[in-house]
Amino acid sequence: MAAGCAIVASDLPAFEHVLGGTGVLCSNGDAGALAGALAGLLDDPGERDRLAAASSERVWSFDWAAVVDRYLELYRRAVPAA
């Protein structure tokens, strides 16, 4: 995502969460579905570019600058003040 590419991934819940609709998911272990998804993106430069742009934007929500406050709040709740 950070490299500005369209993403094709397995439909594992973690990948689905991270992509948030900005990539193509295929059934885990289904080589035919993977090949079809890749071929589809190779044949459709517009869709490939759209997904690449969308995932390039989404990846910033996982940057340390974006998540540090959330982590600090989790640590504050997990470790009460002495």
- Residue 66 is encoded by which pair of tokens? 């974006």
* pLDDT tens, N- to C-terminus, the chain (82 residues): 999 999 999 999 999 999 999 999 999 999 999 999 999 999 999 999 999 999 999 999 888 888 898 889 889 889 876 5
Instruction: Write the CB contacts of 27 (distance below 8 Å, at least 6 apart in sequence).
Output: 10, 11, 33
- Residue 14 is encoded by which pair of tokens? 């973690």
Alpha helices in 1-82 (DSSP H): 13-19, 31-43, 45-58, 64-78
* pTM attached to this predicted model: 0.77
Dist CA 4 CA 77 (whole Å): 36
Candidates 63, 62, 61, 64; CA nearest to 72 is: 64
